[in-house]
Structure 1
Amino acid sequence: MTSDDGIARPGDGYRKGPVLLRGDQVPSETSDQRLLSRSEGASWIHGDPWRVMRIQSEFVEGFGALAEVGPAVSVFGSARTPVDHPDYALGETVGRKLVEAGYAVITGGGPGIMESANKGAKEAGGLSVGLGIELPFEQGMNRYVDLGVNFRYFFARKTMFVKYAEGFVVLPGGFGTFDELFEALTLVQTHKVTEFPIILLGSDYWSGLLDWLRGPVLSRGTISAVDLELVRVTDDADEAVKIVTDHGAALREAERAAAAALAADQQAAAESTGR
């Protein structure tokens, strides 16, 4: 539940998976906090196997809900960006232009930049997806989400962001946005996922981070120069969407070529067997 401006308030309730809690029912700890706590002694022997089942169910529900979304792009950014901020308007533009280019838009489902991208997508007539998370604050799915899935665990949620996206567009944000950005970069750098574009929107915001990466991080040899090519920076929503669409077109052409080659090999094998 959200207020009239689409932003979740503390009084709107606390979502714990599919359950909505209010008042005295709101827990003092999140599911992630309990999972990662070392204060349970030996009780984890009895509790953790059941947690595994719950985690498994989150993956099953997420895969089931998103399997038919089609081409999509994940958009990240701050939950704290006010509606009248230029970054909010930029998020709306990105969401709208991604839909116009044939993509669904996936966000964290919350307020701020997430809401703006969902709003742009929904008002453009596209599919607006929100992947919510159990948090003690900034809770609730914004009103522009058409398809929403709530998660207890960050790692299950982040898997969905990556699995169903053909690219990431990252607007200014805080620790959560940095976490999502660097996880995506790490997965691409280590070839854990098929390479997809990662675009940072807002050069004034991201320039300090990029200067640090190009400076002390690169000079110490903790990354390679080629790693810096994994991320693109722009101030133009049109350019960001074009980077995604160009990569998507190349990806689909490669898939068509691979399918044609496989069919040709199978045909050749069949003809050889028939001789």
Structure 2
Amino acid sequence: MDHLGYRMKFGVIGPSTNTIVQPDFDDMRPVGVTNHYSRIEIPDFKVDSDESFVHMMESISGNTMQAASVLKTCEMQYLIMGMSAVMFWGGKKGAQAYLDKMREHVGVEVSCGSFALEAALNAYGARRIAFLSPYYPVANAEARQFFEDCGFTVVRDICLRRPSPVQIAHTTDQMCRDAINELNGDDVDAIVQLGTNLSMVRLAAAAELFLDKPIIAINTATYWHALRQCGIQDKVQGLGRLLSHY
């Protein structure tokens, strides 16, 4: 039995440019659970169009399996994918195929942002949603298709069009607050944030208190999903109702 990870050893993969998902996940980690990271090596691409965004996604996807293989050597018990856009591509069917491929490759069960958000929205009972992302329209279209395939109605969405992978982590609270306010309305049951390198865990938790509806950050949903899939029911306070109540 691992001395620190005596309840669970999570492997986590994410792009090398991502500086948010690791501290976010570590803040949610219960005692006896450990997180072990492997980075998907990519350059800090300039992203200024749908085409350059797709090029970035292809680079991430091409190196993902190698990064996951590294984690086999620590005998991880479960894998968390700390990258999101790839896991919405091709709608629910495409995302499921990628998830199945990853499970077969690593030999353990896997949580990813797309299906974690589906589970979180179902836990809240939300059906009509709005979402924001740091992406470009081509990626938002794929995310919209995924959510619609899962039976949700997407009322509206916003893409922040961040200029590079590293710059996603430089997105300000004001940018996110403005997006939440633009997305909110009586016609929306829940607001969802995509992009694991976008820091919105605490802002989402605060926004829930004032807007009185679920505001779900993808990093919160993904780690929550992994914990619950592994039978770990610990409630984490201060990071939103998903972790504290479900």
TM-score under structure 2 length normalisation: 0.35
Which structure has the larger Rg?
A: 1
Higher relative contact order (CA 8 A, sep 6+): 2
Larger fraction in helix: 1
Give the structure-1-normalised TM-score. Answer: 0.32
